[in-house]
Every structure is written in structure tokens, then in C-alpha cells.
Structure 1
């Protein structure tokens, strides 16, 4: 598949434009008792990261803070249904993992989430929308999530991930490491500003030219529905010279207890960007069209109820 194939560009754009409406509530112990604090609402791109919006959130809540000095700190954190959110996960992935929604089973009469791709014929409906999160400063859960004293920590973490993904794709990270400083800076800036054109202009420079013949392995992480476990293993793009690795063959190989069939979802479904991804979809093609900004395919597993 050509990196400039128009269908691929269209899918990338739809994924990039996918959003999740979010409702942020200030934790009661952070607000002055005399104030009634209204929630902060915003639309967050699925491929972005929540810490990139902390300044906006803090600015909104600053007049109501019990301790005004906390507005000058970056060590805030978010929780969903009493579970701290990992700031290093893309927003859409965190939503898919934390809600555990099966897009084929949710109430299709509810308000619809803005869709990100056409990977599945099933309609995307939203159940936990707007996604309601609680914003905290005190009692940072450092045993559960990494500390985040500044946005530079977020940037450094993301850079390490794109290097890791490049190493998995090629067996080395030379392409990422050889980017000019301007391109490197612009790539992160494109994530921060959510600039599709700049991000993909630079990303095309580091992707192997052909997903089957030039790709050594597919950077992929699979998030299990229980136990907060992540499966990461080397998966080649091809099973043989004629047979590509698909979503189904990879899941059957690494999670046979959840995916006893290579072609049919019997016990669980793979969720990518909020939709059920087809089991027969070649992983290499999926990577080039549907990877997150860190270079990975992040697939959440949802159990079939």
C-alpha cells in the first residue's frame, strides 16, 4: 500500500478528527466551600493527551481553588469512577480501556460520539458521554500513575515511545534519530497543536516505504479487559511470503483463550479508535492507516456480554 494512497489519507484524517466530549469536575476538597463550581467542558481529540489541556482546565478552575498556589503547579491528576487515569495514554485509548464499551452493544439511541474511522460497519454510539472526569491536586496516586511535574516529562515520554516504535518497525531507531531538529520539534508541536498536515508530512519520512516488504515488525500493544495488563510482543507483518498477519491471527496467537477463532469474535472484540476492527484486517495496513501519534497500534479488548 502506498503511503500516499488516498483511501489511507482519508482514514488517517477521520481518525485524527475523532473527538470525545469531556466534562471535568473539580474535586470537592480542592474548591472553596463558598463557591458552586460548574464543570469545565471541552472536545478532546482521541489521538491527543489529557495533560496538554491541563493549563486550560487549571485556568478555568483557578478562581475557585481552595489553595490558589496549586494553580502554579502541574501535578494535577484525573480519575474516572474512582480510578486514576494514566496521563501517558492517548485520550481515546484511555476512554476505550476505562469504559470497557463494546461498540456493538451500547445504546444506539444515546448521543453519538463523533466517529473516527470506518474500520467497522457497526455504528459508534456513546454511553459515557460526555466523559465525566474528576480533577485532583492532593493525594497524588504515585503508586498507580507516574508523576508529571511538567509538560516536558510528557514530551520526553512521547519521544521515547516514537523511538521505541521505530526500533520495532526497522530493528533500529535510525530514521527517528536522523530527523533534523526542526522536524523533531515540529513533530511534537504537531501533536500539541493537533496539526494533521505537519504530523503526517514528517511521519511519512520515518515510515518504511512498504508495509509488507520493508516492515520488520508491527508496533502493537494490546490492553486486556481485567488486571490492568498490557500485552506487547513482536508481531511480524507476514506469517509467510503469501499470508499477512491479520488482527485475528495475531490475537489468536497471543490470546487464544479470548480469541479461539482467527476470523470471528466469539468471546471478546478488538477495539481501535472506538470501533471494532475487523479480524481479517492485515496488521501492516492497519498500522500505516490507524496508528496513534506515538507510532503504535493500541488495541483495547472488550468482552462480549
Structure 2
């Protein structure tokens, strides 16, 4: 059971200072001021950028406006990835504020999913939680909840209400003591320079002998190149929520404390910055 409330709070309230500017080709009459926002790491771009949209629409001609999408240095930002994951993958070694470009034209159909309403984000979010619970508890916990409980999880995230969210989410983080952890750890490993979306396979938190598996064990099995050996230069950083956890950390603890609200542990493998 997740008992370290401070860690959960720190994760929830992680913020990324961000500067939004309108794509130069789309400026019609007068160039709008940039818009600054502290983005919650655990949320989704399309859930928290209404103010950004309103700010830039003031200077746009109605006929020029299609679906808003965001890009960083030429890379369209996938709204269905948590904000913190996008930042860690694309910009973690850049200076703050994070500089994001806003577009209202030429939606990149090949790169992004459409997101016309918040109900699309809600459906994506709930399906992630259900998938995570299928891995952890064969789906029993989420299926035993009522519709209003599911809604509480969503509203907690949407309205940035830590207590509202965790009052329900803690049930998804429980497991029988004798089992020593979940059935499987819901995780996704992203590699910054890899075209593949992410690695996601079955991984138990405890070995057949009852020994807790660590983050290092997980990486050695799923992404061996990310594990640093003493006799060679460090090539990669392993980042969760913008920090590098020790490889000795048990994956069960990480899953309980550093998962995103979708109940997945999102792990980014980044090239070590060159001096």
C-alpha cells in the first residue's frame, strides 16, 4: 500500500514552466504575446491548454482555425502521453521555460491522434487505468468500482485535486501482503532516439524465490543497453518524473509511488548530455 504521502504529493504537484508561441506562418494580423503556463507533469496537454487556445484565438481569423496541436522543435507532441513524459523525452536537457509552438493548421495526421473533446482524453485515461489494473489485479479492483468511482478518478485528474484522486486511486495500489506486490508491473519504457513507441511486456515485481525485483532488473531484461557498467562511460540516463531513481529501487515501490495517474510507470531512456 502506498504510504509515503510526501512522495505522492511531490509527484502530483510537479510542474514544468512552459512558453507557448504561435507558429510564425499562422500569424495573421498582429503577432500575439507568448503565453506562459505551469504545466502539471501528470496531466495531458489537451486537458490543460484551454487558456492557451483562447489566448491565440483572439488574433486568429475564424476561417484559419482548425484543431489546435502543439510541437517542440519540429516534433508534434502526442497529447495521449503524459506531459512529464513528453518533456523528459524531448526537452529534458533544454533550458526552461519549455518552448512549445502552437498550430491551428496542417494537423499532422500521421503523427497525432485527433482530440476534439475532453471525453476523448477521459476514454484514453480510463482505458489505461483498466489495462494497468488487468496487469496488477486481473481487473478485479477497477471492475468492483462503481461508475461514480471511475468518475472520481477522472475528475480528480481533470481538476487537479490530489485528495479526490488518491481517495479512490489508493484502492488500485493495494495488494495482499503475502503476495509481496502486484501480479505484474504496468510500465512503459520510452527511448528518446527510437522510432518504436515504447516497450511494454509482462514483468513480475518479485522473483520466483520471493526476492523483490529492482529497476535495474527490469531494465536488464527489457532494455539492457540502458544499464551502465562500471568500466565504460555512462551512455544513458534513466528518468522517471524528471529524476534518476537508483537502479536498486524495488519496482513495486516505484509502481506504487511514481506511477502516473493512469497507473503506469513511465520510464524514459535518454542519451547522457554531452558537456
TM-score by length of 1: 0.83
Maintained 8 Å contact 1:252/1:260: no
Within the candidate set 169, 188, 193, 1:203 is matched to 169
Look up the match of 2:58: 63
Is the aligned partner of 1:98 residue 2:90?
A: yes
Q: Is the 8 A contact 2:44 2:82 kept in 1?
A: yes
Asked if 1:184 is matched to 2:184, the reply is no
RMSD: 2.0
Alignment of 1:102-251 (within 5 A): 127-170=94-137, 172-210=138-176, 213-229=180-196, 230-251=198-219
Query: Secondary structure, in 3 states, of the residue corresponding to 2:58?
Result: helix
Pairs aligned (count): 270
Aligned-residue offset at 1:132 = 0.7
**Closer, same or farther: CA 257–140 of 1 in aligned 2, 3 Å:** same
Contact 1:97-1:225 within 8 A present in 2 as well: yes
* Partner residue in 2 for 1:273: 241
Q: Is the 8 A contact 2:92 2:242 kept in 1?
A: no
Query: Per-residue displacement from partner, 1:216-244 (whole Å, max 9, x unpaired)?
Result: 00001000121232111111001243421
Match of 2:222 in 1: 254
What CA distance in whole angstroms lies between the structure 2 residues aligned with 1:301 and 1:265?
16
SS at match of 1:188: helix
Shift of 1:272: 0.4
Q: Tell me, which stretches of 5 or more residues in structure 2 are unaligned?
A: none
C-alpha distance in structure 1 between counterparts of 2:164 and 2:233, whole Å: 37
Quick one: structure 1 residues 130 and 296, their matched pair in 2 at CA, closer, same or farther if it must change by over 3 Å? same
C-alpha separation in 1, matches of 2:170 and 2:253: 14
Q: Distance in 1 between matches of 2:72 and 2:24?
A: 15
Cα shift at 1:254: 1.7
Question: In structure 1, what is the Cα distance between the partners aligned to 2:31 and 2:109?
Answer: 29
User: CA separation in 1, counterparts of 2:11 and 2:132?
Assistant: 19
2:17 maps to: 21
User: 1:272 and 1:163 mapped to 2: Cα distance?
Assistant: 22
2:11 and 2:183 map into 1 onto residues whose CA distance is 25
* Unaligned ranges ≥5, structure 1: 102-126
8 Å contact kept, 1:22–1:41 = yes
d(CA) in 2 for partners of 1:16, 1:252:
28
Q: Secondary structure at the match of 1:64?
A: coil
- Give me the TM-score of the superposition, normalised by structure 2: 0.91
